[in-house]
Amino acid sequence: MKYNVLFFFIIFLNLQTKGQIFKTDKLSVHFFAAAPVADIDALTNYANASFDLKRKEVKVTIQMTSFSFKKALMQQHFNEKYIESDKHPLASFKGSFKDNLSDKPDGTYVIYIEGKFNLHGVEVNQVIPCKITIQKNQLSVNSSFILNTRDFKIEPPKILTKPIGEKIEVTVNGVLHKVSG
């Protein structure tokens, strides 16, 4: 009898923790900065992301060379001069949120994720607002926030000695799917 209760408890615990993790390797990350000569505008659809609703953790990793620009020369300068992708190939964010979403019904929620954004080899504390929609086996993510290039020791290009592109508007969108088991 003791073993049946223990067995049932282990199965119940396992069921409680299943299905709380959502992942994708196709998260869309777009960044934009207005500039007098040519706007800085790039997109990747290949960021990796995971949301663990039970542990209240978020992780995002971006291969910097996966960003595509409308102008090839701008992409080259981004990777070689500013981001130095050969030295700093990845950007990442690891954070947590306080909201208990694992017990919430399907729906749309606004959360704030506090964590560390690592870009250009520099780690900066960041609070990122995020709208998520939970529906059965997927979680949709939508977020917009500003990054300051100076915080990450990135020297933006200068036009007539005035730096451009210091404030970067970042937009993140995607659908993460529930991980089985």
CATH code of 101's domain: 2.40.128.110
Asked if residue 55 belongs to a domain, the reply is yes
Number of independent structural domains in the chain: 1
Tell whether 85 is covered by a domain: yes
Residue 6 maps to a domain: no
Domain annotation covers residue 14: no
> Do the domain assignments include residue 131?
yes
Residue 8 domain-assigned? no
How far is the C-alpha of 122 from the C-alpha of 112, rounded, in Å?
Answer: 22
Tell me: the pLDDT tens digits for 11-70? 444 444 345 899 999 999 999 988 777 788 999 999 999 999 999 999 999 999 999 999
pTM for the model stands at 0.84
Residue 7 forms part of a structural domain = no
Angstrom distance (rounded) from CA 133 to CA 48: 18
User: Rounded CA gap, 77 and 156, in Å?
Assistant: 11
Residue type, 179: V
Instruction: Give the tens place of pLDDT for each residue, 99-124.
Output: 999 888 999 999 999 999 999 999 99
Give the number of other CB atoms < 10 A from CB of residue 140. Answer: 15
Range of the domain at 122: 20-178
1 within some domain:
no
